[in-house]
Each structure stands twice: as structure tokens, then as C-alpha cells.
Amino acid sequence: MSEVPLPLDESSLRIQELAYGLKVRDVMTRKIFAVTRQCTMREVQTIMKNNGLTGVPVVDEGHVVGMVSMHDIMNAFEHGHLQDGVAKHMSASVQTLSDEVPMTFAMSAFSRYSYRRFPVVDKKNKLVGMITPRNINMALIRELSRQLNEMEEHGGTSGQGGASTIYHRVYRLDRYDFEHGGDASAALKRELKQRNTSPKIMRRAAIASYELEINIVAHSHGGSFTHFIDGNRVRITANDFGPGIPDVDKAMSEGFSTANDWIRSQGFGAGMGLPNARRVSDEFEIQSGVEMGTMVKSIIYLTEEPQHENK
């Protein structure tokens, strides 16, 4: 298994949803075998053999500066270079993943690159773990069984009607499908109305939902969209498969838009979407990786607290 394809068909939406809830940090291996530039290829080969590894990162003061793969070892062996230092044979262009991004970004990365493992780095760009497709598979299985157990404990229902029951809907959204864009948000509003939610809160949830829903339709290659309501709050998550946002701070500022003329002709593209979604949310989180995707989470409390605007 060298590849984890992104599951795109309808039946796998729930699985995707599991994947979106997990971060790279939650699924990576923390036990790291890393070497410094001073090590020889033979030493790396011994480490790989003894620990059943197929690749080892090379670090300098905690920062990843290269990777040595089984392939590099074989090449060095073939040419009698096993006594050389790793710096000479490692691949110096290394794709790392941030420990904060959703696990789905790692899945995208595995589909995109031919690498079979990625070093994971923290905010300071220091190596904190490694992630392989195996980590992802294990995490999915773990999460699946955890949720199954939870469902059994709750009597096997995911909720229908009633103000205190769980409402959980997952949608798949396609690029430029303005015909259906907004349907999910309309359904959310109907559900909240049925639960006798106060008009103010209902309006805020509907706006956050609609902005995020339209964002996927207008700006992404498509993605999934989820509503989750329990007794206390509405959680809206929007996940797409790219292209990702190069500068999230810029995207969060009012008036910044990358919308093309056609999107603008539909009345969108004033650069208010993300800022507006954040404004009406009680909690708001955004993660984006170029060519990997974007994850936005908005939470709106259902309790009648004074609204604090997130600026």
C-alpha cells in the first residue's frame, strides 16, 4: 500500500468525515529514527534494517535537511559508497507536513507525491514525527470502531427530529455547482427552525454555513460539507481537496478575493465570505495547504449568550 486514494464516492463520505476530524499530530508515529549529516550510509542502513524502516530523515538541530530512502542505500551499495556520509546521497528536497493540518492533507500528499512517508514538523519547523499510509489506515480503523461503539451506546441512532437529538449530515459539493450550492445551508436552517432556535442564532448559523458552502463551490475542486447539531451547538465543517489558500491571513481580510469574472457575475466574489463566516461564528478555525486542501470549522452556540463578534 503505497497510496491512500481520497475516497470520493457518496458512500465513503462518512469515512472522509472521520478523516477530517483527525489531525496529522493525532495519527503520526512519534518514535523517530533520525540521523545527522555526520552519519555514514552504512550506519543508516543498519538503523533501517534493525528497525524495519524504509526511509530515515536527516536532521540538523531538529530541522529536517534530507531523507535517505532504501533506494539511496541500494544505489550507494551498488557503487561501493556505503562509507560515505549521508549528505552526499540523501535527497535534499524534502516535503514535510505540519503536525497541525488535517489528516486528509497527508492523504492528498500521498496521492500527489510518490513518497511513502513524510516527516512531520511543528510550528518551529522541528521534526516531531513521521507519517506513513499505515498510520492513516490504523487511525481510520481506530476512529471507525470508536464511533461505532459510541453509536451502539446511544442506541444506534444518529438522530431524527427533536430538539436534543443529534443532527448529522454530510454533503458532497462539486465545483461550480451553483444550482445546488446553498441547499445544504437551507436544510440546516429548516432543521434549526424545527428545533425552535432563536432567529438571531439561526441566522448566524445559516450565514456561516452558506458562506462556507459557496466557498467550496466557487473556489475549490470540490469537497465535503458537514453539519452537526447537538443540544448546545452547531458545528459546520467545510473540507475541500484543493487548490488550497497560499495566504490565509490575506484570505481572512475583508475585500480580498480571488474570484473570477464568472463567479462575480453570479453576485459573489466581494471578498467577504471568510471574514463574514468568522464574524458570525463563536469559534472559527481554518487550515489550508497549497495543493492539499482547506479545512474550515465554524461553531455557533445554541445557548442565548450575548453575541461576541469575532473580529
Partner 1 sequence: MGGMNIKRLAEDLGATPLYVPAGWEHLEVDSVFASDLISDILVSEGEDQLLLTSLTSAQVVRTAALVGIVAVFLVYRRHAPPELVAAARDQEIPLFCSAITKFEACVRAGRLKDLP
Interface with partner 1 by CB under 8 A: which residues?
178-179, 181-182, 185-186, 189, 199, 203, 206-207, 210-211, 214, 266-273, 276, 279
CA 308 to chain centre: 27
Q: Which is nearer to partner 1, 116 or 203 (CB)?
A: 203
Handedness of CA 150, 152, 156, 161 (dihedral sign): negative
Which residues are CB-neighbours of 30 under 8 A, at least 6 positions away? 128, 129
Closest CA to 24 of 45, 4, 10, 47: 4
Shortest separation between residue 223's beta carbon and partner 1, angstroms: 19
Cis preceding-peptide flag for 246 (omega within 30 of 0):
no
Provide, rounded to whole angstroms, the least separation between the CB of residue 215 and partner 1.
11
Q: Which is nearer to partner 1, 130 or 207 (CB)?
A: 207
CB of 222 to partner 1, least distance (A): 18
- Which of 68, 238 has the CB closer to partner 1? 238
Question: Which is nearer to partner 1, 148 or 186 (by Cβ)?
Answer: 186
Nearest distance in Å: CB 178, partner 1: 6
CA-CA distance, 293 to 278, in Å (whole number)? 19
User: Is the C-alpha dihedral spanning 5, 6, 9, 13 positive or negative?
Assistant: positive
Q: How far is the CB of 192 from partner 1 (least distance, A)?
A: 11
Cα gap 162→247, rounded to integer Å: 42
Give the strands of the sheet with 283-289, arranged side by side. 167-173, 223-229, 233-240, 293-301, 283-289
For partner 1, which is the closer residue by CB, 69 or 215?
215
Nearer to partner 1, 107 or 184 (CB): 184
Closest CB 264 distance from partner 1, rounded Å: 9
d(CA 121, CA 25): 9
